[in-house]
Amino acid sequence: MLGERRIKQDCSFPFICDEMRSGLEAEMLDLAARILLFPVLVAQGAEVQRSALRLADPSGRRHGFSGHGPDLRLLIMGDSSAVGVGTSHQEEALLGHMRKRLSQTNSVYWSVDAKTGATTADTIARLRESPNQKFDIVSVSLGVNDITTRVPLSVWLKRFSVLLELIEIKYRPDVICVSGIPPIQYFPLLPQPLRWVLGEQAKRFDRALRKLVADHNGCRFVEMDFCTDVTKMSSDGFHPGPKIYSEWGRKVYRAIRSDVKRLGKT
């Protein structure tokens, strides 16, 4: 009753009231479902961890130089998706697609500082120990491991905000490109209802991350609204396959292309 009265007081227009009320009802329903399904979810999570196919990191250099033109320093950081798990070589991963596009107009000094299984907290700890250096563009992809390890949304947002501040202090980037949360509700590795529960949490994380990035100067958000064709995923049913990495690289490049031109890097 108290929550409903607050909604009525805060809304000036009926359709906004309806939207807020439906959102509140959806979250309450999701919470109730998670409580009721908790034993099943724990069992399914343990089984997934036990039986999941472990893919190796792709081969290829994680640091290098390529291209001709104005200097551009690129850093890719994050979790296994930033590493490129799901591909056989870095040329098929996000790094490869970004390097090939940027190298057409720039001399690109590129680097990957990512780790399979990394959470946002893990990345903050590693970043604190990293030396200060200059990168023009920093690409960040984190959040899935925070969801699967049940980090609360509010805690995660605070950590991500700290991460962005640390990136600015350590690397003085002109642009930070943050990739959203992928659609976990379509990951074939995960059984139902675990897939649905994690998928709903992923949607909440993605919406909150989008707002955080929008309120942060110098940040660009990349929506991970990829095709739901599971044949484009890797063999483990959890990581992107080469075709998704290609699409992802195109999205990130489009997000930063105007910034690269504006900074006189082309």
Rounded Cα gap, residues 256 and 8, in angstroms: 41
> Dihedral angle at the C-alpha atoms of 73, 77, 82, 83, nearest 10 degrees?
90
Q: Which H or E run contains 131? A: none
> What domains does the chain contain, in order, with CATH numbers?
63-262 (3.40.50.1110)
Q: How far is CA 223 from CA 65, 73, 220, 247, 249, in A?
A: 28, 23, 10, 11, 12
What does each of the 266 residues of the chain score in pLDDT, given as a tens digit?
334 333 333 343 343 334 334 445 556 656 666 676 777 888 888 888 888 789 999 999 999 999 999 999 999 999 999 999 999 999 999 999 999 999 999 999 999 999 999 999 999 999 999 999 999 999 999 999 999 999 999 999 999 999 999 999 999 999 999 999 999 999 999 999 999 999 999 999 999 999 999 999 999 999 998 867 888 999 999 999 999 999 999 999 999 999 998 887 76
